[in-house]
Structure 1
Amino acid sequence: MNPYPALIVCGPPHAGKSTLCHALTMALREAGVAHYLFRAAPDGEGNWTSEAPPEAARALRKKGPFDQTWLAYAVGAVASRQLPFIVDMGGRPTLEQENLLDQCQYAIVLTCDAAQHEEWLERVRRHALHIIADLRSELDAADEVTLQNGRIEGVIGGLRQDRVSIQQPALAAVLAQVRERFTWRDEDVAVYHATHTPWPAGSVEIIDFDGLLRARGQAQFHDSDRDAITASLADRQPIALYGRLWSHLVVALAKKCDVRAVFMADQGWVAPTRVRLIEAPRCESESMSLAVQVEPGQRATLRVTKLQPYLPYVDTLDAPAVPAGFSLMIDGKLPSWLLAGLATAYAGCASLSILDPRNSTTV
């Protein structure tokens, strides 16, 4: 049995599940509680859509099919989790998609009316989950909740991305219930994973992104942090990347150092993709397309397009070469194992940057 708990947040579409999940994950981060928020529906929802301006969020939110490939990935990811998981479930599951529920122990049920409520309670009961919160979502209502036999019940209001607050009574009560079950601290889990590695002890330095933020007393990284951290490491120093990875620091570290592994919440330690550069304007694999667009001023952009709802891990990949002396911007919302592999392959470019899809800026 997996030692890490899994909590599924479930209910019909438009009940506010993703907004609730985002509020919970931000509060748990601030409290130093180890966890990972897994978006189990291929609809483009994620922390970036919660944190981006409205127009950018709409562009990021691209719904994909909940097909057999995605389902197998999602069920496998939750089953093999390497951290406590909060699972944001889709609102119209088939019986087969309900296999996700079998990988979890706890549930938050979020519904909008009586018919939905009975449907979802029956679904959760079929899979023998322990319900820690059973809430009716009403956008314009005030919170009104009670604790009954270890379960939060009642009304939660205002589950809008621009209005939700972890201080409101319903969310505060739910957070307390989650923290009773998610007892691992970030530091403790980091120590465990640092001592269970596929390489000999002491041969690779682990760059713990969360630990670096804690040491700085910060909630997020800044450009000056990226520069200072990168400067503190030797050229081609063997490193591994752990924690909630900041893409811009991943690129900088992969350009300078020898990234041996990246920690993934659903897989553990994996090697970055080995990327082979070839003389072609476009390369295509089963899961993605990579194309280089050459621009004036010795600049180029690498566009990575997903050809299926998610990018499965690949150990090797072909990518288009970039003319010598060019600066390259990587455009795409990419998993860290791929981003680190691409940055390593293109380390010889005059400069490397990544487009932040939340605000169309480069860093």
Structure 2
Amino acid sequence: MNLFPAVLLGGPPHAGKSVLTYTLTQALRSQQVDHYVLRACPDGEGDWSNEAAQELVRLIRVKGDYTSAFVERIARDLARRHLPLLVDVGGRPGPLDTSVFNQCTHAVLLYKEPADLDLWRELMDRHGITLLAEILSLPGPAADHYIADYGTVLRGAISGLERGTTAHGPLVGALVERLASLFAYSPDELRTAHLAAAPVETVIELDRLGQTLGLTDAQNRWSPHHLPKVLDYLPAGIPLGLYGRGPNWLYAALALHAHPAELFQFDPRLGWIAPLRLVQGEVNPAASLQAQVIDHESYTRLEFSIQATYLDYDEVIDAIVPKLLLNQGIMLSGRLPHWLWTGLVLVYWGAPWQAVYYPQLGQGIVVGSEQDALPVGALVK
């Protein structure tokens, strides 16, 4: 049995689960509470859906199919978690969800009507999941917030859970406090255990790196202009381990910086893994990983998409990606796990420059370059 809690955020569709999840994880990060978010539904959204321009979010969002294979992979990753998790689940629970629910320990329920709450209460009781909170999601602007019951199960209401916003108020504060207490594992104990298992001698702890260089803010957020200073500080071409939270473009840049030496990265579901090994060639139209090649005047853009809704690391080793001549710059784009981003920049090693598209900025961030006119950290439209 996994000792780390997995807190399910459940409720009907369009109740605001993804926005509440974003609000909670941002608050926990600001308190340096170690955890990760696992989106256990095919259209689960990362932080980008709250941080990017909402017009762009509507263009990028892709609905997926809720298949038995998808659910099995989510349940497996839940079972082998290496940190406490917030689990954002789908709004229409069915028989397939049993294996996911069985791996969760606690729940925060959002509801719009009493009947919604009755359904989810029964599900949590059936699977032995401890309730932490029951929250009424109200329509309209973010003004109506109240706590109705501060007992064992926190009860109250929140309004204005719309994408592009974060929730505030006494109920949110009380819920964050309870989650922080539940997730109160000693960061030093977690860190020591994870670092002891690292397969390389030199491990870069991204939070500490940002603090040491005076780059990140109170929530350890990075900016593209930090990249040159980071790469100047770190030795190049030696085996590295990457540990901690960071944007996809930071991981991609560090993978290129370490090349041709080995790189390992810590994934809260998988533990220490290498960047995904990929091969350039002709992509099978039925493959899980697809890419659209878009030629621009001065670079090639690759728009990657995951057809299987949930990409399994073990099943896509040696996956085929489009073959390019590497005679001009490359911009990579898509909603992808970090271990795939690092694999992609390595398979296209040798291009004059590479950039990773970052929805929060609506631009690509150069992560590797041989051209003085387009240095690492520069932005590309």
* TM-score, normalising length: structure 2: 0.87
Indicate conservation of the 8 Å contact 1:56/1:359, yes or no: no
Q: Which of 204, 208, 212 lines up with 1:207 in the alignment?
A: 204
User: Which residue number in structure 1 is paired with residue 310 of structure 2?
Assistant: 310
- Partner of 1:98, secondary structure, is helix
Select the residue among 263, 277, 283 that pairs with 2:280. 277
On the 8 A contact 1:283/1:320 being kept in 2, the answer is: no
Q: How many residues align?
A: 355
Name whichever of 10-19 and 311-320 sits farther off.
311-320
- Could you tell me which amino acid in structure 2 is paired with residue 105 of structure 1? T
CA distance in 2, matches of 1:191, 1:34: 13
Query: For residues 99-118 of structure 1, what are the structure 2 equivalents within 5 Å?
Result: 99-118=99-118
Distance (whole Å) between structure 1 residues aligned to residue 227 and residue 284 of structure 2: 31
1:259, distance to aligned residue in structure 2 (A): 4.2
Give the corresponding residue for 1:57: 57
Q: Which whole-Å CA distance do the structure 1 matches of 2:287 and 2:111 have between them?
A: 38
Residues 76-225 of structure 1: pairs in structure 2 closer than 5 A: 76-140=76-140, 142-166=144-168, 168-197=169-198, 199=199, 203-215=200-212, 216=214, 217-218=216-217, 219-225=220-226
In structure 1, the partner of 2:8 is 8
CA deviations over 1:247-285 (Å, ceiling 9, x no partner)? 22222222221342121111111111222334x5x5657
Pairwise mapping of residues 201-350 of structure 1 onto structure 2 (< 5 A)? 203-215=200-212, 216=214, 217-218=216-217, 219-257=220-258, 258-278=261-281, 280=282, 282=283, 286-297=287-298, 299-313=299-313, 314-350=316-352
Equivalence for 2:375: none
Displacement after TM superposition at 1:184 (Å): 2.3
Deviates more, 1:205-214 or 1:340-349: 205-214
Paired residue secondary structure (1:45)? coil
Q: Which deviates the most, 168-177 or 140-149?
A: 140-149
Stretches of structure 1 that go unaligned for 5 or more consecutive residues are: none
Provide Cα deviations, 1:87-142, integer angstroms capped at 9, x if missing partner: 01111010231322211111111111111121111111111111111121113462
Amino acid at match of 1:236: G
- CA apart distance, 1:40: 0.9
Amino acid at match of 1:240: G
Quote the Cα distance in structure 2 between the aligned partners of 1:334 and 1:148: 39
Structure 1 27/259 Cα, relative in aligned 2: closer, same or farther at 3 Å?
Answer: farther
1:288, 1:355 → 2: CA distance? 17
Aligned residue for 2:176, secondary structure, equals: helix
Deviates more, 1:18-27 or 1:143-152: 143-152
Distance 1:13 1:156 in 2: 16
User: Which residue identity does 1:223 align to in structure 2?
Assistant: P
Quick one: distance in 2 between partners of 1:16 and 1:262?
Answer: 32
- CA distance in structure 2 between the aligned counterparts of 1:118 and 1:87, rounded to whole angstroms: 20
Change (3 A) 1:225 1:177: same
CA contact (8 A) 1:138 1:156 kept: yes
Q: Check conservation: 1:57, 1:358, Cα contact below 8 A.
A: no
Q: What fraction of aligned residue pairs are identical, expressed as a percent?
A: 29
Q: Distance in 1 between matches of 2:321 and 2:134?
A: 48
Identify if the C-alpha distance between structure 1 residues 235 and 283 changes in structure 2 by more than 3 Å, giving closer, same or farther: farther
In the alignment, the residues of structure 1 paired with residue 54 and residue 323 of structure 2 have an alpha-carbon distance, to the nearest angstrom, of 35
Give the structure 2 partner of residue 351 of structure 1: 353
- Alpha-carbon distance, 1:20 to partner: 0.8
Q: Which moved more, 1:217-226 or 1:21-30?
A: 217-226
Distance 2:164 2:292 in 1: 36
Contact residue 283 and residue 319 of structure 1 kept, 8 A: no
User: What letter corresponds to residue 331 of structure 1 in structure 2?
Assistant: S
Structure 2: which 5+ runs fail to align? 366-381
Which structure 2 residues correspond to residues 28-39 of structure 1 after superposition, within 5 A?
Answer: 28-39=28-39
Contact conserved, 2:38 with 2:86, CA < 8 A, in 1?
A: yes
CA positional deviation for 1:153: 1.3
Instruction: Provide the rounded CA distance (Å) in 1 between the counterparts of 2:152 and 2:26.
Output: 23
SS at match of 1:39: strand
How far apart, CA to CA, are the structure 2 residues paired with 1:276 and 1:154? Answer: 52
State which drifts further: 121-130 or 143-152.
143-152
Cα 1:227–1:196 shift into 2, 3 Å:
same
Aligned AA for 2:343? G
Paired residues of 2:158 and 2:167 also in contact (CA < 8 A) = no
Residues 22, 166 of structure 2: 8 Å contact kept: no
Secondary structure (helix, strand or coil) at the match of 2:19 reads helix
Q: Is the 8 A contact 2:206 2:246 kept in 1?
A: yes
Change (3 A) 1:177 1:44: closer
Q: Indicate how the Cα distance of structure 1 residues 284 and 233 shifts in structure 2: closer, same or farther if over 3 A, else same.
A: farther
Q: Is the 8 A contact 1:272 1:315 kept in 2?
A: no
Cα shift at 1:148: 4.5
CA distance in 1, matches of 2:48, 2:165: 17
AA of the residue aligned to 1:210: D
